């Protein structure tokens, strides 16, 4: 008989300020290490920072933002929850006409998420929305024996 086991999940509330961005970067790295997951921590940090920065910029009020890191059988999923129910924008892969203006300081976050993640999207929640991305597990390297 098979026993259903719950996959490890790590969640934390962050303040609704720009100071949450570097904290989220550190927390996602810590979460993946604590969950003993083989995802690319550098990419996870970068994409998490983009999601948190977008949540701070595009949602109002002082309600906290929630960061959720979940281990999946094939990788990990990172979600950022905020109180704004509006969709974040086009989460599909961009076409050549959708490239951001290289002279603008903003507008690359969703492009990075779409390009560097295995999959991404958003869903409504009871209090707003969750925007998420998944990263594949990186296979452990085998070291030859002498």
pLDDT digits (tens, 9 = 90+) for 5-37: 567 788 899 999 999 999 999 999 888 887 666
What pTM, to 2 d.p., does this model score?
0.82
Domains and CATH numbers, the chain: 9-136 (3.30.565.10)
Cβ atoms of residues 14 and 64 within 8 Å: yes
For residues 113 and 134, what is the distance between their CA atoms, to the nearest angstrom?
9
For residues 90 and 119, what is the distance between their CA atoms, to the nearest angstrom?
13
Confidence tier at 85 by pLDDT (50, 70, 90): very high
CA 29 to chain centre: 11
Write down the pLDDT at residue 2. 46
Is 107 or 2 the better-scoring residue by pLDDT?
Answer: 107
Write down the pLDDT at residue 141. 62
- Name the one residue in this structure whose structure tokens are 């024996």: 145
What mean pLDDT comes out for the span 125-129? Answer: 95
Cβ atoms of residues 32 and 42 within 8 Å: no
């Amino acid at each position: 008989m098979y026993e259903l086991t719950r996959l490890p999940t790590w969640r934390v509330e962050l303040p609704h300020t720009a100071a949450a961005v570097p904290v989220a970067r550190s927390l996602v790295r810590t979460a993946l290490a604590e969950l003993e997951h083989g995802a690319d921590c550098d990419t996870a940090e970068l994409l998490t920072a983009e999601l948190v920065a977008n949540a701070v910029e595009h949602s109002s009020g002082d309600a906290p933002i929630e960061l959720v890191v979940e281990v999946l059988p094939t990788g990990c999923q990172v979600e950022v929850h905020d109180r704004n129910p509006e969709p974040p924008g086009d989460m599909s892969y961009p076409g050549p006409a959708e490239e951001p203006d290289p002279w603008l300081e903003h507008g690359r976050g969703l492009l990075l998420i779409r390009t560097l993640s295995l999959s991404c999207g958003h869903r409504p929640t009871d209090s707003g929305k969750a925007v998420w991305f998944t990263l594949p597990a990186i296979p452990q390297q085998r070291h030859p024996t002498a």
